[in-house]
Amino acid sequence: MYCDKFCRPINYLRISVTDRCNLRCIYCVPATGIPLHNRNEILTYEEIVRLSRLATRLGITKIRLTGGEPLTRRGLVDLVRMLALLPLLDDLSLTTNGTLLARTAAALAEAGLCRVNISLDTMRPDRFSTLTRGGALKQVLTGIERAQEAGLTPVKINMVVMRAINDDEIDDFARRTITDGWHVRFIEIMPIGKETPWLTSRYVSTEEVRCRIEERLGLLQPVLLDDGGPARYWQIPEAQGTIGFISPISDYFCLDCNRLRMTADGRLLPCLFSDHEIELLPLLRQGGNDEQLQARFVQAITAKPPGHQLDKQITPCRRLMSRTGG
């Protein structure tokens, strides 16, 4: 396995399969949308599989598909089936907004997908529609049920907490770990993209979220659970589900960073918070051989910075999460 300059083993690749999304979450995408790539500018499934195979030979054992909204790309089940056959891959998962999951969950599981994470920031239908600029909450809730039935477990629900937008629902989400066995993860909002002053004004720290849960639902117990990601886990004593906290701002989560990102148009991103990109697509389409392509992965690993510098007020990355593949 390859380590970066700071001795962090890199075994996790997040692949954005499309820059398109069927929602326009107010903190993620501008109301007018974003300029989208043409189809020929996006990696084909065969190209994604080739690059993934090369990455697994360098020590990548976990792949997560994301977007945009990955389920808006036609034939995603076929990609899952091809990736699941990679002999060196241990774990294949998907991050989705859940709106299109109900009809594909069973097929994804059958094709070899291990798990799904579902982004859900509110459980109030009207608010969901406002927050996502037109989304239907019912579709997501049905998607969660179907994912559980299909065995894409543990289904993790990711909630980005935003002051005066959805922070009054923290308890409701935490209670679902008791009533429905949900695994809920509260995420600190990150100042990424162009609207950083607005994003910063919505920030609620993990510490505040935890205190608010404990005030209402009692002391949380730490859970020793290492899923290879940045979350730290806790539990309400009688709950089946867990409560995770992802704290990119208040807890310097870069120390354990084990990941690379690949955009839908074939750029490797050494770090979520930097604009540094390493292109794969031209080399791939001009007949680059495996060694040359692998060298680009090694270059990306080597280029990983020690961590983000959001706390130092350095201008953060201008790329939107929907482009990066969150």
The residues that touch ligand SAM, with contacts defined as CB under 6 A, are: 21, 27-28, 66-67, 69, 95-97, 119, 158, 160, 187, 189-190, 192, 199, 321-322, 326
- Rounded to the nearest 10°, the torsion over CA 59, 60, 62, 63 is -170
CB of residue 318 to ligand SAM, shortest distance in Å? 12
The kind and range of the H/E element at 175 are helix 170-179
CB of residue 243 to ligand SAM, shortest distance in Å? 16
Separation CA 247–CA 314 (nearest Å): 18
Closer CB to ligand SAM, 26 or 174, in the complex: 26
Closer CB to ligand SAM, 69 or 265, in the complex: 69
The bridge status of strand 232-235 relative to strand 243-246 is antiparallel
Cβ density class 101-132: b for 16+ within 10 Å, e for less: bbebbbebbebbbbbbbbbbbbbeeebbeebb
Closer CB to ligand SAM, 190 or 271, in the complex: 190
3-class DSSP assignment, residue 14:
strand
CB of residue 75 to ligand SAM, shortest distance in Å? 17
CB of residue 321 to ligand SAM, shortest distance in Å? 4
Closer CB to ligand SAM, 21 or 82, in the complex: 21
Closer CB to ligand SAM, 53 or 62, in the complex: 62
CA distances to 65, 69, 236 from 184, rounded to whole Å, are: 20, 20, 12
Which residue of the chain is nearest ligand SAM when measured via CB?
326
Closer CB to ligand SAM, 63 or 192, in the complex: 192
Cβ density class 2-36: b for 16+ within 10 Å, e for less: bebeeebebbbbbbbbbbbbbbbbbbbbeeeebeb
Separation CA 243–CA 223 (nearest Å): 9
Are 7 and 256 in contact by the 8 Å Cβ rule? The answer is: no
CB of residue 278 to ligand SAM, shortest distance in Å? 21
110's CB contacts (< 8 A; 6+ apart) are: none
Separation CA 19–CA 37 (nearest Å): 7
CB of residue 5 to ligand SAM, shortest distance in Å? 26
Closer CB to ligand SAM, 97 or 263, in the complex: 97
Strands (E) in 56-119, as ranges, are: 62-66, 91-96, 115-119
CB of residue 98 to ligand SAM, shortest distance in Å? 8
